[in-house]
């Protein structure tokens, strides 16, 4: 029996979506769905929900929860990763509250920025342990990473981890539809091309019947900027740099040095930037799960419609040979020619029986490559810090981060990093 292992299966709603998709896919019937999570209670919840869903959908997949991670991975053909190391409390709180003491404010803090750096530093050792287990018990498995920080983790798994890896994010799928909905344009029949790095990939082409739609998009965007709306940062970046970005405005507000500034507090209001957005979402999600848990687990007739998540489509394409196109995060093996070869990039990929096949993009427009490189610098130095366990590279990563370096002096950045290292304690390895 082939096996799909889900690491972080205590993310019950996400496990429901991804593994519900598997149960709804004819080519994936009969697979064992192996669930693993370090939270035994959440693992039991997910197992019960998925057993209910299996019965409701009439699936022949086998649902099995494991307390031993290596056994959950043993013999797997596909591995889905959805962990969050340290959770909301204490680690996310730490990532937000200590920088505030230095006057450094954030919105999401899960990709780059000071919060993204420290989320990486506590997550990289865990995913490298996954990779070590996989090399022993399922060396040929495909690792599908949904965990942020996407670019760094996918990079580390592909290089230092030595496992076949693709990083999967939602922002590519929703980019065009969200943009067109916001501008009240019809997305039917629109063709697009997207490439860059995760959370900062670019809508390079957007056409319909061969006609470039960017002039109309920019005209409507400029008009919409006269009023408050939820996507003001991305529209501003498009109007100044020429292209729309895949990930949300709350994310991109902290990827650049232009928007969250102590000395220009009016920018927060002007661009409608939701500071402390991620902690607010965490509190709401925890409350929402507590409210819905009993009714969801007690429901023996759970309906499921296949979602837009890539995972089941990737597995189906590999099993059947029927091609499927994704936006995937992979190593830059000459795919984007004006970004570093050491970087993880997000490009169109064709999936078929041979696996993940990234496509060649060539040069990005120079201003876009330059913006990407500002984030890649921090990503690569964070990896250096994690692999060498040298504290100096944590400082380097933070000092090169666009938002952090725009707000703080070098001495304050070093002091902030030291405070975060101390506060995270055993959630981090020991740095010298």
3-170 falls under which CATH superfamily?
A: NAD(P)-binding Rossmann-like Domain (3.40.50.720)
Smallest CA-to-CA distance from 414 within 391, 431, 430 is with 391
pLDDT for the residue numbered 24: 97
Q: Rounded to whole angstroms, how far apart are CA atoms 187 and 203?
A: 14
Q: Is 339 helix (H, G, I), strand (E, B) or coil?
A: coil
pLDDT for the residue numbered 295: 85
Smallest CA-to-CA distance from 424 within 40, 87, 7 is with 87
Tokens for 392, please give them.
Answer: 């100096």
Report the alpha-carbon angle 224-227-233, nearest 5: 70
pLDDT for the residue numbered 409: 98
**Cβ-based neighbours of 347, under 8 Å, separated by 6 or more:** 195, 327, 328, 330, 335, 336, 358, 359, 361
pLDDT for the residue numbered 300: 84
Smallest CA-to-CA distance from 419 within 150, 9, 94, 58 is with 94
**DSSP H stretches of helix in 30-185:** 40-57, 69-73, 93-101, 113-137, 150-158, 171-182
Q: Rounded to whole angstroms, how far apart are CA atoms 297 and 177?
A: 33
CB-CB contact of 203 with 173 (8 Å) = no
Q: Rounded to whole angstroms, how far apart are CA atoms 53 and 49?
A: 6
State pLDDT tens for residues 264-302: 999 999 999 999 999 999 999 999 998 889 888 888 888
pLDDT-flagged residues of the chain (< 70): none
Q: Rounded to whole angstroms, how far apart are CA atoms 296 and 300?
A: 9
Domain layout of the chain by residue ranges: 3-170
**DSSP H stretches of helix in 323-390:** 366-388
Distances from the Cα of 407 to the Cα of 114, 155, 347, 411, angstroms: 12, 28, 32, 12
pTM of full prediction above 0.95: yes
pLDDT for the residue numbered 102: 98
State pLDDT tens for residues 193-226: 999 999 999 999 999 999 999 999 999 999 999 9
Smallest CA-to-CA distance from 378 within 112, 94, 57, 48 is with 112
Catalytic residues: 170
pLDDT for the residue numbered 316: 98
Whether residue 208 is preceded by a cis peptide bond, meaning omega within 30 degrees of 0, is no
């Amino acid at each position: 029996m082939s096996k799909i292992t889900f690491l972080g299966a205590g993310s019950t709603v996400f496990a429901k979506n991804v593994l519900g998709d598997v149960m709804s896919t004819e080519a994936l019937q009969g697979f064992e769905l192996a669930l693993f999570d370090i939270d035994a209670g959440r693992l039991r919840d997910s197992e019960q929900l998925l057993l209910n869903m299996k019965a409701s959908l009439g699936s022949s997949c086998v649902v099995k929860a494991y307390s031993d991670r290596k056994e959950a991975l043993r013999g797997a053909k596909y591995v889905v990763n959805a962990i969050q190391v340290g959770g909301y409390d204490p680690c996310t709180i730490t990532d937000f509250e200590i920088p505030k003491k230095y006057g450094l404010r954030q919105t999401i803090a899960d990709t780059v920025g000071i919060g993204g750096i420290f989320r990486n530093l506590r997550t990289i050792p865990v995913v490298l342990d996954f990779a070590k287990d996989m090399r022993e018990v399922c060396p040929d498995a495909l690792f599908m990473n949904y965990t942020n920080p996407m670019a760094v983790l996918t990079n580390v798994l592909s290089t230092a981890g030595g496992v076949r890896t693709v990083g999967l994010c939602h922002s590519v799928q929703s980019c065009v539809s969200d943009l067109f909905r916001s501008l009240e344009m019809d997305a039917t029949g629109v063709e697009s091309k997207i490439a860059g790095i995760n959370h900062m990939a670019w809508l390079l082409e957007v056409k319909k019947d061969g006609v470039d739609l960017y002039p109309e998009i920019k005209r409507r965007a400029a008009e919409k900027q006269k009023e408050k709306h939820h996507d003001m940062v991305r529209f501003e970046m498009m109007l100044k740099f020429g292209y729309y970005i895949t990930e949300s405005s709350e994310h991109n507000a902290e990827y650049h040095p232009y928007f969250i500034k102590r000395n220009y507090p009016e920018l927060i209001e002007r661009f409608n930037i939701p500071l402390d957005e991620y902690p607010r979402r965490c509190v709401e999600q925890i409350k929402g799960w507590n409210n819905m848990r009993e009714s969801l687990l007690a429901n023996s007739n759970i309906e499921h419609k296949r979602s837009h998540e890539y995972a089941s489509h990737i597995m189906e394409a590999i099993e059947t040979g029927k091609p499927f196109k994704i936006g995937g995060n992979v190593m830059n093996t000459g795919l984007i020619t004006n970004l570093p070869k050491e970087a993880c990039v997000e490009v169109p990929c064709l999936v078929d029986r041979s696996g993940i096949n990234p496509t060649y993009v060539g040069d990005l427009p120079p201003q876009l490559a330059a913006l990407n490189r500002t984030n890649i610098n921090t990503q690569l130095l964070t990896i250096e810090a994690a692999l060498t366990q040298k504290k100096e590279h944590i400082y380097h990563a933070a000092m090169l981060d666009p938002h952090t370096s725009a707000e703080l002096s070098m001495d304050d950045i070093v002091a902030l990093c030291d405070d975060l290292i101390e506060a995270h304690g055993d959630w981090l390895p020991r740095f010298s």
